[in-house]
Chain A
Amino acid sequence: MAPFLLSLKLAFWTTVLLLPIGIVIGRVLAYYSFKAKAWVEALVYLPLVLPPTVLGYYLLVALSPNHAIGKSLGAFFDGPLVFSFEGLVLASLLVNIPFAVQPSQQAFASISQDTREAAWVSGLSSWQTFLRIELPQCWLGILCAATLTFAHTLGEFGVVLMVGGNIAGETRTLSIAIYDSVQAFDMGAAGAMTAGLLAFSVIALVVMRVAGLQIHRGR
C-alpha cells in the first residue's frame, strides 16, 4: 500500500506544481511568436524523445551534493535532493513538462484571435480575458493536461529509479515496487499492482480522449 500512496503523493504534487507552469508555457507558445520559440518548444518536448535513463543520469549528476546546482538546492531544502522525495518531485516536474504543456497549448490555440480581441474591445483587461474568456474555453484541455501528468507520473520508472533509487517509504514508488516484486518472484503482488496501474491509466486516457473530443466540437 505504501508504494501506491507514495506514487499518488508524487503524482499529486507533480500535477499541482506543474499545471500552472504548463498553462503559462502553453499559453505563451499558443499566442506569442518570438525568435527563440523553436528552441523553447524543442526543450519543452525533449523529455518525450529522450530515454528516461539519460534524463535521470543528468538529473543525478546535477542534483548531487558535489554539483553547484545540487549544492545550492540541497542548502535550500536542508539536505541532498538525490534519493529523496523532494528530488523525485523535481525530476517528475521536468519529465512531465510536455504532458502539461501540450494539451494546454492546443486548448489555447483553439481560441481564435478575434475572440480575444472582441473581449479587449468589450473593455475586458488581459487578466479578465484570461479568466472569463480563455479559461472557461480551455478547461477541458487543462483537465487533459492534469490527467495526463498525473497518470504519467504514477507510471514513471526510469527517472524515478535513477534519481530516487529504491528506498522504502521515501522513493519506492508503485512502478519500482512492481519491478521489485518481479525480481523477488512475487508475481501475485506484481500482478495486483500492475492491474491497478493499468486500470488507472485506461481511465485517464478515456477521460483525456473524451475531453479532446469536446474541445474539437467546441471549435
Chain B
Amino acid sequence: MSSTSKGFLPAIPALVLLGVFFLYPVIRMLGFSIETGNLDWYAKALGEGLYLQVFWNTFQIAVFVTFFCLLLGYPLGFLIATTTPFWATMGFIFVLLPLWTSVLVRTYAWMVLLGRNGVFNRMLIDAGIVADPLPLLHNLTGVLIGMVHVLLPYMVLPVYGAVKRLDPSIVAAAQGLGASSWRIFWRIYLPLTLNGIFAGSVIVFVLSLGFYITPALLGGGRVMMIAVLIEQQVRETLNWQFAAALSAVLLGFTLAVYALAQRAMRPEAAR
C-alpha cells in the first residue's frame, strides 16, 4: 500500500498535465453538447440516418484497417524481432519512416503511386497484367491502403515487443520436443504474442476511428468518416454543440471498444 502511495507522487505532474490538457477540454466539450439544456443534439447524432450511416462506415473502415494492419503487421513485427540486427534496423527504418513524414505528403505520394496513370497502374499495364487501369484511388481501396500505411507502425511495434519478450529457450524447447516451424508458430508464438496483437489492434482501431485527412484525399470524397463531419460542424457550420455531441458519441464508442478489449485481454495479461 505504502509503495503505491509513494509511487503516486512522481505521477502528479503527469496527472495535472493530463487534467489540464486532456480532461478539461473533454469536459468542456461534453458541456457544449448539452448547452441547450437537453439531449436534442444527441438525438440528432444517434437518430438521423445520415449520421448513423457515417458512424457505421467509420466502424467498418476501422475494422478493415485493423484487419489488414494485423495481416501485414504481425509477420513484419515477427520478422523484425527474429532477424539479424542489421535487418531489424532496416525493417524499423522502413516501418517508422511514415511516422516522420507529414500525413499530407504521404497521402500525396500514394496519389502519385495509385492513380489511373500512376506508377502502379502503368507497371501493371506495361507488364500486360491488366488492360485497363485498376481503380486503386478515390475509393475505399485507396483509403484502406493509405490508412494501413499510416497505422502499420502501431501494429508492428507491439507485435515486435511481444515477440522480443518471449524467452528464446521456450522456442528451442518446442523445437527439441519435435515441433515443426508451423506448429511452433501456432502453438507457441501465436498464443504467447496475443497481448501484442490485442494491444496493436486496439491502438490501430481507435486511431482509425478518428481519421480525417487520408479518407478525404484518397477516398475521392466517396468515403465519409465521422471525423470529417465533426470537422465540418466545427469549422464550417459552426454548430459546436452538435460537433460536441458527435464527438462525445465517438468518444463513448471508442471507450467501449477499449473496455471490451481490456476485458478480452485480462486472462492473458495476468501472465
The answer to whether A binds B is no
